Each structure stands twice: as structure tokens, then as C-alpha cells.
Structure 1
Amino acid sequence: MEAINQLWRSRCSENFRRQLRYWNLIGKNSGLMFFVYAMILAGAFYYKKWLDSLPAHFPGGLLLTLLFTLLVVPSPIRTFLQRADCVFLLPAESELNSYFVKSCLYSFAMQSLLLSVFLIISAPLYFQQSGNSETAYLIAALAIFAAKGWNIYCHWREQRIDETKPLIILRTFLSFLLLFAVLNGMRWVAYLSCAAVMLVISFLLFEKQAARGLLSWERLIAMETRQEMKFLRFANLFTDVPKLRRHVRPRIWLTRFVPARGFDRNEVYRQLFLKTFIRADDYFGIYCRLNIIGCLTVYFVSMGIWTLFLIASLVYLTGLQLLPLWRYSFPQALEGMYPVKKVYKKKAFTRLMAGLLAAESVLLSISGLLADCSLLNLLLYLISGLGVSFVFVFGYVRHLFEKEGTQRS
């Protein structure tokens, strides 16, 4: 038993040291901290202005319910399992109860930190829209943490159940009802009834089905890998992560629109980077999501001339997200097929980045035009977005090239 506890502590400590090392590199080697500070200051100012402009009938309680439901229901569990554990730890599964209990408690603690941040941010909206006291919000916060703990417990029991989609839908529905009751000031009978139903469901449905199943080690390891890769991909935006696993998706419906058009020196890396952007990892998905979120933010949070700063920040953030494309390791059969100089690779990358950021600048500017219907502001939005694109590509990216060349020489 002591060996099992020591195994969990050593793996947790190793994970903590690795993340701390990457956070240290992120803080030193990028403009992330400045960007975060600037966004916090600007967000706090305009959050207050947005609250003051809300009508009395604004459904703040429903909005908070949806937000916290999205935060509470997804409950991944960090087990720190490794691929080899399927062989070496599987025979000791009956002795791993304390190991997995520690994993669930650790996951609850880490996810509760994120919930605490959103509870602090959401407090002004709650008090303004509901008019309730601090005690009511404290009760709501306790209910949110309880719902998170219940979802982690249920998610752990799901690791022994084959068909989990109906159970996830049920968890989502019950969590929504409980949070809606406590965040909208309903009578205590309502949320106590929801809590009672959740407890009954836990024992009659999750516990009984899990008792008849076997622990899915493959699913546990896949879940742990996703959690680890999520942080490593984030760290890879700012520094090299040598052990990052790559994923390639076919996306035939999209790649057919960008076929190979030439094989001269100017085309080799342009086609490699374009195909990599579309198919490798999640670069294309990140780019699309940032554009959609950015357009909606610019449209609904119209801040007049200060929208320039918002558009510039969104374009800069997208550039940081796409920057790891430069360090993507192409297969030797592709990259080393032709004797192409490095200068063509740099040129292809800068052109792709410039085109993607310029397209985003145009989309965000059009969204700003739809919000305030001002051609002058449209021109200013374009100048802001395209200006940041130009500085990022031909300033920051060029500096990155020179820095890499200096280090290798």
C-alpha cells in the first residue's frame, strides 16, 4: 500500500515540476504576461461598463447557469497513468483504490481553482441581476463545488461503463437544474430536491452499472494523455516541447481545395505549410474558433474606438497560436526530398502567416462595421488589425528566425 501511495506522489511531483519548468520558460520567452495583464485591465474596465448597460430584464441567472454548467460537467481525472501501466499495474488493480481516490481529489482541487476564478468574475453580474445577499451567493458557490464533485465521482464510475453518452446527458441535465435553482434564487426545496435526485441517481444508476463492469485502462490512459497533451500544446506555443505528440487528420473535404500546384523551389514549403495548417494537430480548428469568437466579441461588445485594441489583441493572440507551425517537424521524406534552401522555408512561412492574420483582420473589421455601421471605424479597424499582422510577421517572426540562426551558429 505504501508503495502505491509513493508511486502517486512521485508522479504528481514529477508532473508539477515539469509544468513549473514550462511556465517559467513561458514567462521568460514570450510576451504572454504583458498580454494577460493588458487584457485583465481592459476587461475589468469594459466589464463594468457592460454591467452598467444591461437592462433590468437581462437573464443574468440563465447566463451564469449556462456558464457554470459548461465548467462543472466536463470533469477529466488526472491519474498520471502511463502506457506501460496496462501491463505492470493491471495485476495490482484491486490495490489501487487509494491511488485513484487521490487522483479524483487532485482533479477536484485543480478544477475548483478554475471555478473559484469564475465565481469571483461572475459575482458583480450575480449581485446586480439578482439583488441577493452574499450569503445566497455563498450557498450558490457551495452548490457549484458540490456539483463539480458529483460530476467527478460520476465520471470516474463511467470508466467501468461501456455506453456513457446517455449518462453524460443525464449529468448535464441534472447539473443544469441544480445550478439554475441556486443561481436564480429559487426556494430551498427546489435545489434540495435536485440534490436528492442526483444522489439517488448516483447509487441506483452509476454505482450499479459500474459494479458490473471492468475498469477501462485504455480509456483512462487516453484521458490522461489528452490532459497532458493539452498543456504541452499550450506550452508549445511559446517554447519548444520535444515530446509533443502529433496528430494528423485527413480533412479530405478541405484539402481537395488546395491541391499540389507546382514543385519548384518556391512551392515546396508553401504547400507543406499549407497542408500542415489544414491537417496537423488542431491549427485549423484553433484558427477558426478564434475567428468565430473574435467576430462575436467585436460585434456584441462594441467599445467604439477601443475596439481597435480588442482587434489588435485578437490578431496577436492568433499569431501566437499559429507560431508553432514553424517548428513543426515535417517527415524527412517530405522536407528532405528536394535540395531547397532555408530561405524558401522562411519566405513560405511568413507569407502564410501574413495571409492568415490579414484575413482575420478583415473578418474582425467587418464584424465591427456591422456593430457600429461606421466606415471611418472600419478603416481604423483594418489599420489596427493589418498593422499588428505586419509587425508580428515581419518583426516578431523575423526576430525569431534571426534568434534561431544565431543559436545554431
Structure 2
Amino acid sequence: MNNMHNIWKMRFGHFVNEVQKYMRFIVTGHIAIVFVFVAGAAGYQYSEWLKVAPASFPAEWLVAATVGILLAFSRPTTLIKEPDQVYLLPLETQMPVYFKKAVNWTFWSQLIIPAVVYIVTIPLLKTVTELSSLQIWLGLAFIIALKYLNVVIEFNYRFANRGQAIVVDRLARGLLSILAIETALTSSVYLAAIYLIIFFAYKMSLQKRVIGQPVPYEHFVHLEQNRMLRFYRFANYFTDVPHLRGTIRRRAWLDSAYKWIVFSSKNTQLYLVFRTFIRTDDHFYLWLRLTAIAAVITAFVDIAIVAWIVVAALAFATTLQLKVALLSNGEFRMDMLFPIAPTQRLKAVEKLLRITSVVQSIIVTLCAIAQPHFYMIPIIIIVVSELTLRLSKK
């Protein structure tokens, strides 16, 4: 196993399998339907706005700022693991072969987002600017070149500096990327090539600093662990990730939520369930995130049927996932030692979820108050949540 091509191939295969294992729970039928409706509604709103977009709208700067910021965030994906700090030391001279494959994968995997964002803005550029189709597509090629340079630069910067002051590096690259894209769109790609030369010179200087330095295994291990942890936390909103343990926060500003619970043995589970929901990051942020998504969509989408479908799907997802999470018996709890009826926890969870659905409906309705038929939104959220509670497995 001393061939770097084989090591990368094995690591990459394991990574793909791990992602696919959880993505099948994330990309489900109802989520796909929501995405289709949201994309359709967003596309319709976008096309309608383009009809009245003013000619003075700063489209070039908007595109340059959005894409430039995305280009600056080029965190490398190395798939380095903690044992590599010991077992790959004898092969350190061969690591450039491994890292070349890592940089290439980072580039191709991260290119999708800025490229899609730019392509989505092409109708805007054609509407409010005088750019030809050739200039617009040359702009896309320019962005691809910038992305590759950003990826290589961030990798070499992290290698040379162990990730220290990476914010300063990103800020500099972000500003240069914005200016480069704006110049390519307003002047010419040839003039913007000056920025490519600056990026290339910066890349070469970092590559010279990397030569002879030991591989910063600890930094790359830390990056990989955090990257996979973010993915597992996201996946945990859709399915149970066994090795993931959520963090606990007190959230003292919500202590008043417990005061209305009467001190009584019959309310033991209700009190515990409320504390579990409020203090567990996974549960609380799941509800907060889905509520925020529903609020933002209903605030900007003025197609009633689309807004209703979205809030119904998100209400269903919120109730179902919180119910499963709060009724999970995977861990030992102290209340299991006391003579409390088993049905108490189910009733407590259902009461909590009815309250959260009401709060969610109020927040989303207030955000959608300027939209047509907004009064239907709280009814839909509460009805869907109640049906989910009653029809889902206990």
C-alpha cells in the first residue's frame, strides 16, 4: 500500500460510500418535490423581476461580489486521517502525488457552486448590460481559471502557514477575485488577465515556501474532521448518525419556558422533554432552521399554492424529525429508574410539538403577511403537524 495512487483511490472510495450512505436519506421524495417547487417559484419570480429590472442596476458588481466571495472559500479536501501522522511519514516524499489528486478533486467538487451561480445570473447580464454572448461565456471561463488558482493558493497557504491567518489570505483573494470578475465583465478579459498574473505570482511564491517543509498533518486532519462533522450534523437532521453526539447549551434566555409547567409528578416527562428540546443543539437548531426557511420562502414567494406546499412539507419534516429524535431510547436516562407511566413521554412530546407548531405558524405567518391568502399558512402548518403526530409511528 505504498502507492499514493492506490491510497487516494481507497480513501476516495470510502469517502464516496460514506456520503452516499447518508445522502439517500437526505434526498428523499418529499424533499425533491419541495426543491422542484421552490426552484420553479424562484425561477418565475426571477423572470418576472427581469421584465422590470432598471437598466442602471449594477449587475456586474453583484455578480462579481457573489461569485468572488464563493471563489475565496476554497478549503482543500485532502481526506487525511489521524493515523497518517505516523503511518505516512515514511512516504512523505511521495505525498505531492497524493496532494495533487486532492487539489484536483477539491477544484472539480467546488467549481459547481460558483459556476451555477454565474450561469443563473446570465439572463440578468443580458437584460441590463450590453455584453455579448461571447463576452459572457468568456467570463465563465475566466471564473473557472480563478477557481483553480484559488484552490491551489489556499492549499499551499495552509501547507506553508499551518492555516494561521487564513482569514487575511481569503480576504485578499476575495477582493482580488471580485475586482478581476468585474473587470472581465465591464472592460475585457484581456485586461482582467492582469489579475490572473497576480494570482499566479502569489501561487508560485507559496509553492516555493512549501518546498522542503514537513506535511502539516495535524492541520489537515483538523480540517477533515470538521468538514465531515458538518456533513454528519446536516445528515443528522434527516436520519440518525450513530457516532454523532450533539452539544448541549443552557440558553438561559429561554428559562422562562419552563415556568408554566406545574411542579407535579405527572409533569415529569413534560419538563424533561422541554429541557431536552431547548438545550440540545440538534433539536433546537433543527426547528429553528426549518422555521427560518419556511419564513424566508413565504416572505418572498407570492404564488400561494407554492408557499402552501413548501410550508406543509417543512411542517411535516419538523414534526416528524423532532418526534423521532425526542422519543429515541438509544441512551439511558435517569427517569427510567422512576415509576413513571411509559405513555407519559409520548404525551409530553406531542404536547411540546403542538406548541412548537403553533409558534412556527405564528412566525411564518408574520413573515408572509404581505402575500396573498397568507391566512391559510397557520392552518396548513397546524393541520399538517397534527396529522403527522397522529399518523406517524409511535
Q: TM-score, normalised by structure 1?
A: 0.80
Matched, 1:140 2:146: no
Alpha-carbon distance change, 380 to 54 in structure 1, aligned in 2, over 3 angstroms:
farther
Return 5+ residue gaps in structure 1 as ranges: 402-409
Match of 2:380 in 1: 384
Match of 1:47 in 2: 46
Give distance in 2, aligned partners of 1:265 and 1:96. Answer: 62
Aligned Cα root-mean-square deviation (Å): 3.4
State the one-letter code of the partner of 1:172: G
Match of 2:183 in 1: 181
The alpha carbon displacement at 1:337 in A equals 4.6
State the one-letter code of the partner of 2:179: L
Alpha-carbon distance change, 151 to 309 in structure 1, aligned in 2, over 3 angstroms:
same
Give distance in 2, aligned partners of 1:289 and 1:239. Answer: 16
8 Å Cα contact 2:251/2:279 also seen in 1: no
Give distance in 1, aligned partners of 2:268 and 2:208. Answer: 58
Give distance in 2, aligned partners of 1:319 and 1:127. Answer: 44
Match of 2:55 in 1: 56
Report the identity percentage.
22
Match of 2:201 in 1: 200
8 Å Cα contact 2:361/2:378 also seen in 1: yes
State the one-letter code of the partner of 1:89: L
8 Å Cα contact 1:326/1:349 also seen in 2: yes
Match of 2:168 in 1: 166
8 Å Cα contact 1:108/1:149 also seen in 2: yes
Give distance in 1, aligned partners of 2:54 and 2:314. Answer: 28
Q: Secondary structure at the match of 1:239?
A: coil
Match of 2:366 in 1: 366
The alpha carbon displacement at 1:9 in A equals 0.2
Matched, 1:218 2:218: yes
Q: Secondary structure at the match of 2:74?
A: coil
Q: Secondary structure at the match of 2:202?
A: helix
Q: How does 1:183-332 map to 2 (within 5 A)?
A: 184-188=185-189, 190-204=191-205, 206-207=206-207, 210=210, 214-243=214-243, 245-254=244-253, 256-257=255-256, 266-292=266-292, 294-303=294-303, 307-316=307-316, 318-319=318-319, 322=322, 325-326=325-326, 331-332=331-332
Residue deviations 1:63-119 (CA, integer Å, cap 9, x gap)? 323332342222232222223223322443332111111111111111123334334
The alpha carbon displacement at 1:135 in A equals 1.5
Q: Secondary structure at the match of 1:96?
A: helix
Alpha-carbon distance change, 141 to 286 in structure 1, aligned in 2, over 3 angstroms:
farther
Q: Secondary structure at the match of 1:145?
A: helix
Matched, 1:104 2:100: no
State the one-letter code of the partner of 1:386: I
Give distance in 1, aligned partners of 2:278 and 2:265. Answer: 21
Which shows bigger deviation, 317-326 or 384-393? Answer: 317-326
Give distance in 2, aligned partners of 1:48 and 1:209. Answer: 49
Give distance in 2, aligned partners of 1:362 and 1:157. Answer: 49
State the one-letter code of the partner of 2:344: Y
Q: Secondary structure at the match of 2:375?
A: helix
The alpha carbon displacement at 1:132 in A equals 1.9
The alpha carbon displacement at 1:311 in A equals 4.0
Match of 1:4 in 2: 4
Match of 1:404 in 2: none
Give distance in 2, aligned partners of 1:321 and 1:139. Answer: 46
Give distance in 2, aligned partners of 1:35 and 1:305. Answer: 12
Q: Secondary structure at the match of 2:376?
A: helix
8 Å Cα contact 1:130/1:185 also seen in 2: no
Q: Secondary structure at the match of 1:241?
A: coil
How many residues get paired? 390
The alpha carbon displacement at 1:176 in A equals 1.9
The alpha carbon displacement at 1:272 in A equals 4.2
The alpha carbon displacement at 1:22 in A equals 3.3
8 Å Cα contact 2:326/2:349 also seen in 1: yes
8 Å Cα contact 1:238/1:320 also seen in 2: no
Give distance in 2, aligned partners of 1:105 and 1:187. Answer: 28
8 Å Cα contact 1:69/1:176 also seen in 2: yes
Alpha-carbon distance change, 275 to 378 in structure 1, aligned in 2, over 3 angstroms:
same
Q: How does 1:317-356 map to 2 (within 5 A)?
A: 318-319=318-319, 322=322, 325-326=325-326, 331-334=331-334, 336-356=336-356
The alpha carbon displacement at 1:234 in A equals 3.4
Give distance in 2, aligned partners of 1:332 and 1:229. Answer: 24
Q: TM-score, normalised by structure 2?
A: 0.83
